[in-house]
A and B are shown apart, each in its own frame.
Chain A
Amino acid sequence: MTVMKPRLKRSLSSLSSQINESRESTSPRRSDVRVNKRSRASNSSAALPGCNTARQAENSEWHQKYQPQELSDLVLHKRKLQDVRNILEPMVSGESSCRILLLTGPAGCAKSTCIKLLAEELISNRVHKPSGLTLVSKTSQESPYCIEYDGSNLPSGVSKTDHFDNFLTEARYRTGPNLAVLLAEDLPNVFHQSTRTQFQQALLRWLYSSQAQLPPLVICLTECELQALDSKNLGFSIDTHFIAETVLGFDNLIHPRLQRIKFNPINKTLLKKHLNDICVQERHAFIPGKWEHRNTFISNAIQNCGDIRSSTSALQLWATTTGSSLPNNGTREHSISYFQGLGRIMYGSKEICDDNQMINQLVLSSSANLGETLKLGLLENYAAYNKQKFPVSYAMDILDALSLGDTMSSDSSMQDLQEALEYPLRVARRKLSELNGEQSLSHSKPNFPRESKVRKLCKLFVSDVDNYSYITMQKYNSWHTFRNIALHFGFFAPLIRKHRNYKKKALNHHLNSLGSPSERCAIIEANASILAVDEEQDVLKRIGGDLSLVNATQDFESKEKEDEPAASNSKTLAFLRLYNKNSVSEGIMDGDENDDMSDEISDPIVHSEDGDDDSLDFSDEDDTIYDILASQSPRKPGRA
């Protein structure tokens, strides 16, 4: 047996290879078992959809062998099954307006098995003559009632982005006698942005399709959190959070024709029963001495997670190999999501009463990426405890710990210290549990950290500043550093230019009413600075937008929308765009670098007189205000 590290996250494939490996090396008495197995496997594989028969006989794994064949075998809470049935049944019969059923939940909680079995039952009841006359598409070799989307089976000549769309188009007439449930478990490469957009649009089209009868489409999504490659990227995006919100997009999720059912990990009683059943059936496969300990193993295994596939495999590995007891029982470690983690820190955990142990587990199981999000989330949400009614000193202690924790993770040594996460979490838990005794709890929905939102705003601000500085450079031939723009020019310059722009309009109006050209010239000369402001060109708005509070959100911001301004954040692009736009005016500006005022003045004169002649500039505005202003404006040159 290979030595296993406790924190190693094992995949199913590694487990099964271990099973085979040890099987090769173990006792001779295995041979008769294998024969036995083969016979069992071969008769079950006939009914099993989606298994490769040749290999299956050699390699029967318990989680496939005992895959439920009937709904009554399904290891799923009765009520959840009823929920799914309640939605799917009218969808199949065409009485429901719902077009997409979305099942989300962790891995191994019987999402797809449930759908496959339900589809078989519901459709075989409705359609009486299967297979004979049905149109068999290439994706539905196994079951006529359920068509699976297969993302890897890409016919030549079809672009990857269109593949899902094609699948839907092909399958849309699977109604009436050909009725089938469309199951999308395998998704196209949603990590690629344009593929994802296409995928989401295909779903939207499906939802809005004018066709009256569409086959029910079921999407099974195994939600998980991924370790981001770029640890700086803490935003909630598909790269870190593979969940319904990021995969399907907001528009799809809120659509009334989409129904969503969330699956929970399988509960302990059901899991225990299932594992016990397997034990009884596989009694002969047990290595001597293991059978007696099976109850301890099972009760350990069900503690970890409600993943039926993983626990069955772990049981098989344990039972059929000579290795003593496996660390962690070999089951998949229960991954903790952002909300679970946050909830545990703030309100403690029901399962693990000892806070110390709970935090140990939390710190161990949370990835580095979740760690930082967790801290930011704690900052965002600690105050929600008891509706913000607790003494400031508690808040102070928590914040102090967060602040200290932040200093522990240094930028230079890319590896974050575990303590940087652990310390704030422990302090927060202790402080909040001290409060716990005094007042009753009141849970509220947690917020997402605002950090990523702020970062996006910062990016926008930077591109705004770039824009501003290119304009300043082009038009006024002066340059300011970023810091100065952020601190001073960002506020003052647009304010000043706005005032001037306002005056310019008034002045233009006044010039209109003047008769003699000499008088006009005098005013123009006196107010050159005012007339030089150009609404089109100059930045007249507070750089980065006005200061308005950045509010916390309970929802995901739809990422695609926010991405657009960020995508155009390239300085080169902004620079070139502006350069092209201003290439005409730049010619003028080149001329007046010799501190020669006359050039610069002549420009606005032409400009304003153009406006005078056709006076179109003001036709759509309220003239009266300029009349009033015009009557005031002669004072200014007069004062000079």
Chain B
Amino acid sequence: MSLWVDKYRPKSLETLSHTSRLTNLLQSLAVEPRDLPHLLFYGPNGAGKKTRCMSLLQSIFGSGIYKLKIDVRQFTTPSNRKLELNVVSSPYHLEITPSDMGNNDRIVIQELLKEVAQMEQVDFQTGSVAESGGLAHRYKCVIINEADSLTRDAQAALRRTMEKYSRNIRFILLCESMSSMIAPIKSRCLLVRTPAPNTLETIEILSKVAKSERVSVEDESILKLISESCDGNLRKAILTLESMALNNEMALKTTSPLIRPDWVVVILKMTNRIVKDRSVSSIVECRSTLYDLLAHCIPAKVIIQELAFALMKEVRSDEHRLGVITWASVFDERLCLGNKPIYHLEGFIARVMCELDA
């Protein structure tokens, strides 16, 4: 069986859990499938953007939307380099994560979408007319994950595609922050903010999962601990719950230790080191850790963010906190501008050490 995250993921609009106001909006969209606008879901990681988007599609196209298959598509860049991209698709939609492609995402956007869009959607499955109203097949949906990491170039290409093929293609963009989306795209989409569940909602969902998995929960405080450590990231919360439950023989006690991802633990250890041992040799140690995190493809932005917030908790005085957050923002910017994250991460650590020394 799949993980609880996937097992208890709502599959239709009716079963969506938190933020009922948003669910109502989506239901009203599903009533008129012919007029489905381009959508842009934005909200924090683990808030349920994808779940909502799939539920919406389910209500339009029927459960066929969950018949997923995966293809590996090849693209050739102008410089003759071969790129490979995983494309997940169902008969009614297509899902890509072009940010895997780095700087070459424009080619992917252009090539792939042109191909999809130029194909008229023909409805061979007359049987499903009743289910879908016979109208929905006119267009195909394209879900673009992590749209905020698309380059400007790719976004511009997307914008043209949106205009040109709006008759038989519908885009659903998912992103965490809208700040890096260009205005023309924002204006062409219906913006749907997907908030993260608050602690109470998270606890409720967790206890529901625990109940159906027959996990005995001694006290709600442990669920509270989990949901607080996860900052509204439901995916992380349920994964934590499952691993903790399995770790404790399906009986959660208030004293059960919280399981954090190993990279978070590593960052916390590094934070401790930065605060306690401010020396050049400890910078060198930190560099090894940083390289290791980077080798595990933890995004540099996430590292600096986790590090900054852990440091904020660790340091005592407000002045120091101010220093930490100031430098975190400076180096975060440099991360975006530069291309070798290690300089900036290590630079941040050295800065913070000096700041704490002062």
Contact = CB atoms under 8 A, between A and B. Distances in A.
Contacts of A402: 343, 347
A486 interface: yes
Nearest to B298: A486
B350 A458 contact: no
A572 B353 contact: no
Contact of B340 (A376, A400, A575): A376
A457 B295 contact: yes
B314 to A, nearest CB: 17
Given A403-B346, A482-B97, A492-B240, 7 more contacts: A388-B280, A392-B357, A409-B339, A454-B294, A461-B297, A473-B88, A571-B84
A549 B235 CA distance: 28
A473 B280 contact: no
B84 A600 contact: no
Interface of A: 375-376, 379, 383, 388-393, 395-396, 399-400, 402-407, 409-411, 450-451, 453-454, 457-458, 461-462, 465-466, 469-470, 472-473, 475-479, 481-484, 486-493, 495-496, 499-500, 503, 528-529, 532, 542-544, 546-552, 570-572, 575, 593, 600, 632, 636, 639-640
B342 interface: yes
Nearest to B291: A550
A491 B347 contact: no
A403 B146 contact: no
Contacts of B216: 639
Nearest to B302: A487
B341 to A, nearest CB: 9
B208 to A, nearest CB: 16
Contacts of B331: 403
A407 B66 contact: no
| Interface residue SS majority, chain A | helix
A421 to B, nearest CB: 13
B103 to A, nearest CB: 7
Given A486-B299, A499-B243, A399 B346 contact: yes
B317 interface: no
Contact of A388 (B9, B281, B339): B281
B70 A600 contact: no
A593 B334 contact: no
A570 B294 contact: no
Nearest to A546: B262
Contacts of B9: 478
Given A458-B297, A496-B243, A532-B1, A396 B351 contact: yes
A528 B243 CA distance: 17
Nearest to A475: B2
B235 A593 contact: no
Contacts of B246: 496, 499-500, 503
**6 shortest A-B CB distances, which residue pairs?**
A529-B1, A457-B295, A406-B338, A476-B2, A499-B246, A403-B347
A338 B246 CA distance: 52
Contacts of A395: 280, 283, 350
B346 A389 contact: no
B294 A458 contact: yes
Contacts of B346: 379, 399, 403
Name, among A403, A476, A532, the residue most crowded by chain B CB atoms within 10 Å (CB to CB): A403
B68 A570 contact: no
Contact of B338 (A390, A403, A500): A403
Contacts of A399: 283, 343, 346-347, 350-351
A449 to B, nearest CB: 9
B22 interface: no
Nearest to A604: B1
Contact of B235 (A388, A476, A484, A639): A484
A488 B216 CA distance: 24
A407 B334 contact: yes
B340 A451 contact: yes
A549 B266 CA distance: 10
B337 A410 contact: yes
Contact of B295 (A465, A487, A493, A544): A544
B280 A542 contact: no
Contact of A383 (B249, B281, B353): B281
Nearest to A385: B280
A457 B278 CA distance: 29
B95 A392 contact: no
Given A383-B281, A410-B337, A482-B97, A496 B239 contact: yes
A154 B36 CA distance: 69
B266 to A, nearest CB: 6
Contacts of A457: 295-296
Given A496-B246, A551-B288, A479 B70 contact: yes
Contacts of B72: 571-572, 575
B353 A396 contact: yes
A354 to B, nearest CB: 27
A77 B69 CA distance: 71
Contacts of A570: 84
Given A396-B353, A399-B350, A406-B340, A547 B262 contact: yes
Given A396-B353, A458-B294, A550-B292, A488 B250 contact: no
Contacts of B351: 396, 399-400
A547 B262 CA distance: 7
20 contacts: A383-B280, A392-B350, A392-B354, A395-B350, A406-B334, A407-B338, A454-B294, A457-B295, A469-B70, A483-B97, A491-B263, A496-B242, A496-B246, A499-B247, A529-B7, A532-B1, A548-B292, A550-B295, A575-B72, A593-B67
A482 B353 contact: no
B6 interface: yes
B68 A495 contact: no
Interface in B324-358: 331, 334, 337-340, 342-344, 346-347, 350-351, 353-354, 357
Name, among A411, A475, A542, A548, the residue most crowded by chain B CB atoms within 10 Å (CB to CB): A411
B284 interface: yes
B2 A478 contact: yes
A487 to B, nearest CB: 7
Contact of A406 (B67, B291, B343): B343
Contacts of B70: 469-470, 473, 479, 575
Contacts of A600: 1
Contacts of A469: 70, 86
B350 A396 contact: yes
Given A392-B354, A549-B292, A481 B97 contact: yes
B59 interface: no
Contacts of A546: 262
Name, among A404, A458, A484, the residue most crowded by chain B CB atoms within 10 Å (CB to CB): A484
A30 to B, nearest CB: 51
A403 B334 contact: yes
Nearest to A473: B70
A633 to B, nearest CB: 10
A393 B354 contact: yes
A388 B279 contact: yes
Nearest to A552: B288
A390 B280 contact: yes
A639 B68 contact: no
Contacts of B68: 473, 477-479
A466 B86 CA distance: 9
Contact of A450 (B95, B266, B291, B293): B291
A239 to B, nearest CB: 16
A466 to B, nearest CB: 7
Contacts of B288: 549-552
Interface string B268-303: 000000000011110110011101111111110010
Contacts of A465: 297
Contacts of A461: 295-297
Given A454-B294, A499-B247, A488 B334 contact: no
B221 interface: no
Contacts of B295: 453-454, 457-458, 461, 544, 550
